Amino acid sequence: MNSFAPRLIAWHSRAGRKDLPWQNTRDVYRIWLSEIMLQQTQVATVIPYYQRFLASFPDVHALASAPIERVLEHWSGLGYYRRAHLLHAAARIVVSRHGGVFPRDAALLTGLPGIGRSTAAAIAAFAYGTRGAILDGNVKRVLARHAGIGGYPGSAAVEAALWSEAEARLPQNGMESYTQAMMDLGATRCLRTKPACALCPVADDCVACITHRIGDFPAPRPKKTLPHRAIAVLLIEHRREVFLERRPDAGIWGGLWSLPELSVGEDAEAICRARFDAEIVTAVTLPDIEHGFTHFTLTITPRLCVVKRWPARAQEPGCLWLPLQDVAGAALPAPIKKLLRDRAKPRFGSLGLEFAQVAR
């Protein structure tokens, strides 16, 4: 296996990705930001978010000094919002404890919120050329197939075997190219389905390829039925504005603005009287929205509401009336943003007509 790393490095020089926005730099801030955004998210999705984020927060000092609400606005739609909270917390630590300079050592990088062993190694490799193994989802797939490591990579025993394999294959030099090559191989050749084995630089000694068992490696996640939850949300509109609450920092959609939430069977009018000292009428129940998370599925039932009486806005801490025209730039959960974008479209009939008829 001594030739594995040299073959990958040579392949990367010919065919690897070299024009991504976070490449061709030693700026550790930009590298760190890209690595956090790329956790569980594909490159094509990340690029526009990364570019907008950098335009507003060009360095770690700008990010650390920004309110979390503004950070979440820029993260809205990217998902896994805990990453944004941890990113913000890490930026503040880098500024307050390290003088705005990221640690060079991968072990010290793991002490920052949101940075695990693989992410730290990737940051250190790209920023400083430090020798260290990475093991993201794509790399797990490459190593499992090439070394013939069976089992589900999420299990402790299989993950330990993959880490051992990753460490054993590290080159003495060229860490930046090798690390990017491992990522590129998994993202562009060793795909989950229909891998391009004929274009793979290490196919000649790949166990999965030469034994015609590509589909066996890695083993899929053991099947289990995801739990299901159901909630209702109040779509309270008044004069082309929608009423929002800020969600708690902990839990799903932490810190984002969203529609007031209640149990499916709860009395919306009573909830509004108790929570906001307001009077509403539930006008229409809109079609359910199905949304999937990693560990459960969620059914959201929106209830369109008419305002009869609302207290002064100054009496509503943690609440916001948002003009529907401003929905696109707000820090909202993806399914709620889509719902409100639809509401913002000027149209007759459908939901808009139903609301207008009831509001009379």
Q: Looking at the predicted structure, is the pLDDT value of residue 315 above 70?
A: no
Q: How far is the C-alpha of 166 from the C-alpha of 183, rounded, in Å?
A: 13
**Pairing mode, strands 228-238 and 297-309:** parallel
For the residues 178-197, what does the mean pLDDT come to? 96
Contact 148, 185 (CB under 8 A): no
Of 9, 64, 72, 70, the C-alpha closest to 32 is: 64
Q: Looking at the predicted structure, is the pLDDT value of residue 352 above 60?
A: no
Tokens 């009573």 map to which residue? Answer: 270
Is residue 360 very low, low, confident or very high in pLDDT (cuts 50, 70, 90)?
very low
Tokens 């001594």 map to which residue? Answer: 2
Segment 52-85, tens digit of pLDDT: 999 999 999 999 999 999 999 999 989 899 999 9
Q: Looking at the predicted structure, is the pLDDT value of residue 110 above 80?
A: yes
Dihedral-angle region of residue 318 (phi above 0 means left; psi in -120 to 50 means alpha; beta otherwise)? left
pLDDT value at residue 225 = 87
Q: How far is the C-alpha of 94 from the C-alpha of 98, rounded, in Å?
A: 5
Is residue 2 very low, low, confident or very high in pLDDT (cuts 50, 70, 90)?
confident
How many Cα atoms sit within 13 Å of 31 on the Cβ side? 22
Task: Report the share of the chain in percent with pLDDT over 70.
Answer: 94
Q: How far is the C-alpha of 218 from the C-alpha of 187, rounded, in Å?
A: 15
Q: How far is the C-alpha of 109 from the C-alpha of 113, rounded, in Å?
A: 9
Choice among 35, 73, 176, 245 that is catalytic: 35
pLDDT value at residue 249 = 86
For the residues 235-260, what does the mean pLDDT come to? 92
Contact 132, 106 (CB under 8 A): yes
Segment 113-172, tens digit of pLDDT: 999 999 999 999 999 999 999 999 999 999 999 999 999 999 999 999 999 999 999 999
pLDDT value at residue 1 = 63
pLDDT value at residue 335 = 95
Strand partners, 237: 242, 306
* Domains, the chain, ordered by start: 4-216 (1.10.340.30), 228-359 (3.90.79.10)
pLDDT value at residue 316 = 67
For the residues 236-261, what does the mean pLDDT come to? 92
Q: Looking at the predicted structure, is the pLDDT value of residue 173 above 60?
A: yes
DSSP type of residue 261: E
- Comparing 357 with 311, the larger pLDDT belongs to 311
Q: How far is the C-alpha of 102 from the C-alpha of 93, rounded, in Å?
A: 10
Per-position DSSP letters for 14-52, written without gaps between them: HHS---STT-S---HHHHHHHHHHTTTS-HHHHHHHHHH
User: Per the structure block, which two tokens stand in for 74?
Assistant: 């820029």
Cis peptide before 218 (omega within 30 of 0): yes
Is residue 230 very low, low, confident or very high in pLDDT (cuts 50, 70, 90)?
very high
Mean pLDDT of the chain: 92
**Whole-prediction pTM:** 0.84
Q: Is position 245 annotated as part of the catalytic site?
A: no
Task: Report the share of the chain in percent with pLDDT over 90.
Answer: 82
Q: Looking at the predicted structure, is the pLDDT value of residue 87 above 70?
A: yes
Segment 270-295, tens digit of pLDDT: 999 998 899 999 889 999 999 998 88
Per-position DSSP letters for 70-92, written without gaps between them: HHHHHHTTS--THHHHHHHHHHH
Is residue 358 very low, low, confident or very high in pLDDT (cuts 50, 70, 90)?
very low
Segment 38-58, tens digit of pLDDT: 999 999 999 999 999 999 999
